[in-house]
Amino acid sequence: MSGSPVWHPFTQHGLDEPIPQVVRTEGAALHTADGRRVIDAISSWWVITHGHSHPRLQAAIRRASESFDQIIFAGWTHEPAETLARGLVDITPEPLRHVFYSDSGSTAVEVALKMALGFWANTGRPRHRIVVMQHSYHGDTIGTMSVGERGVFNQAYTPLLFDVATLPFPAAGAEQACVDALEALCVEEPRPAALILEPLILGAGGMRIWSAATLKALAEVCARHEILLIADEVMTGWGRTGSLLACEQAGVTPDILCLSKGLTGGALPLAVTLATAPIFEAHRSTDRARMFFHSSSYTANPIACAVAAENLAIWREEPVLERVAALGAAQASQINRLAGHPALSGARQLGTIAAVDFNAARDGYLSGMAPWLSAFFRSRDLLVRPLGDTVYVMPPYCIEQTDLARVWDAVAEAADVVQRRG
């Protein structure tokens, strides 16, 4: 909006790109002030699962707001947080018995890192080394930037970041090199405290897909060497990869699990970090100095917890995974028709996520192709936000086939334009 004082995230205001004003949301669409219906092909940065303004989630917000606003959560509790925590323990693997609330995916990961380091410190075996995967992205706080890929996202903040050990990305044919690299790190000094990874697909790292077999192998190495495994399922959780959690497809239960985005169906911000009993018990003591030192003013917001509990009810009572499977099949059909296009490469799909790379100069996130693609899709009333030369489609599960076809028709049209330009 012209003259607005708002400073938008991941936006270069010097380019004066248009910033549409949304006045209403419904299903898989955003409605703008100038009367357009825009298909939300990326679930508003991966948060919207069942659809915008879902009636059950909206009703849960209204009900909770009649009784609650924010309540201090340090030493106090409330019913929505208790109900949600029990529901999360029921729906996730049995060893994950303890639920810690925070506000976003970044803070969920920051909490996980602090839990891992606290575990080793409180058990008298301090370890500080964190192992990460090449091309990963875990958030924008100092800790989460430290465990993400170094580059344009965090270059200005390099002096603040701590060192990590990095595994090569397990691309097809290079899986064993990744597993071997972890094995080698586990016998080096200093011994690693934890391995953190995005299971099966890297989000902001370019929608790079890797195998469940490799995830299982990495988890086995961690177990053998007593290295904590942190699964960042902020993006991959809540059905995005075809199952409730991506880790399910490898038969893996992490020591620490991070969830956010789809936790509330995208209706309100909320995050959780789930941990096993040993992690919790390492912080449980009569010594107050060993408590877990983390919180925010809005920890476990009751209204957000209530809508997240309703989201769990939707998962229990409605055929969500059937919708996920149907969307996955539709995505596979759409991406397959573009697989041979000369302007495109790397067509790939996992669950409800599909992506393709434009064959332009590979300049990473700051590729000059990205602004052009964004404008191209915006002109066709589509919200598609490329990752450099990578275009991905990750819509809400309720998207109609006609709307999904419109998205992929536009991707094909953009590819035709790029091909003609040479």
Tens-place pLDDT, residues 212-254: 999 999 999 999 999 999 999 999 999 999 999 999 999 999 9
Which residues 6+ apart lie within 8 Å of 85 measured at CB?
99
Residues in a beta bridge with 202: 208
Tens-place pLDDT, residues 250-297: 999 999 999 999 999 999 999 999 999 999 999 999 999 899 999 999
Average pLDDT for residues 385-408, to the nearest whole number? Answer: 97
Tens-place pLDDT, residues 105-149: 999 999 999 999 999 999 999 999 999 999 999 999 999 999 999
Total length of the chain:
422
The pLDDT, as a whole number, for residue 153 is 76
pLDDT more than 70, % of the chain:
98
The pLDDT, as a whole number, for residue 1 is 54
57-317 topology per CATH: Aspartate Aminotransferase; domain 2 (3.40.640)
pLDDT tier for residue 3 given thresholds of 50, 70 and 90: confident
| pLDDT higher than threshold 70 for residue 197 | yes
CATH dotted code for 320-421: 3.90.1150.10
Tens-place pLDDT, residues 144-156: 999 999 887 788 9
Q: Are strands 271-276 and 96-102 parallel, antiparallel or unpaired?
A: antiparallel
| pLDDT higher than threshold 70 for residue 201 | yes
The pLDDT, as a whole number, for residue 97 is 97
3-state secondary structure the chain: CCCCCCCCCCCCHHHCCCCCCEEEEEECEEEECCCCEEEECCHHHHCCCCCECCHHHHHHHHHHHCCCCCCCCCCCCCHHHHHHHHHHHHHCCCCEEEEEEECCHHHHHHHHHHHHHHHHHHCCCCCCEEEEECCCCCCCCHHHHHCCCCCCCCHHHHHHCCCCEEECCCCCCCHHHHHHHHHHHHCCCCCEEEEEECCCEECCCCCEECCHHHHHHHHHHHHHCCCEEEEECCCCCCCCCCCCCHHHHHCCCCCEEEECHHHHCCCCCCEEEEEEHHHHHHHCCCCHHHCCCCCCCCCCCHHHHHHHHHHHHHHHHCCHHHHHHHHHHHHHHHHHCCCCCCCEEEEEEECCEEEEEECCCCCHHHCCHHHHHHHHHHHCCEECCCECCEEEECCCCCCCHHHHHHHHHHHHHHHHHHHHHC
The pLDDT, as a whole number, for residue 169 is 98
For all residues of the chain together, what is the average pLDDT? 95
d(CA 247, CA 175): 17
| pLDDT higher than threshold 70 for residue 409 | yes
pLDDT tier for residue 27 given thresholds of 50, 70 and 90: very high
Q: Is the link from the previous residue into 190 a cis peptide, with omega within 30 of 0?
A: yes
pLDDT tier for residue 15 given thresholds of 50, 70 and 90: confident
Average pLDDT for residues 24-40, to the nearest whole number? Answer: 98
Q: 238-254 burial by CB neighbour count: b if 16+ within 10 A, else e? A: bbbbbbbbbbbbbebbb
pLDDT tier for residue 366 given thresholds of 50, 70 and 90: low
Domain with CATH 3.40.640.10 in the chain: 57-317
Domain with CATH 3.90.1150.10 in the chain: 320-421
| pLDDT higher than threshold 90 for residue 364 | no
The pLDDT, as a whole number, for residue 365 is 58
| pLDDT higher than threshold 70 for residue 362 | no
| pLDDT higher than threshold 80 for residue 314 | yes
The pLDDT, as a whole number, for residue 395 is 98
d(CA 313, CA 297): 27
Tell me the pTM: 0.96
pLDDT tier for residue 2 given thresholds of 50, 70 and 90: low
| pLDDT higher than threshold 70 for residue 184 | yes
Average pLDDT for residues 391-410, to the nearest whole number? Answer: 98
The pLDDT, as a whole number, for residue 367 is 67
329 to each of 22, 78, 334, how far by Cα in Å? 30, 41, 9
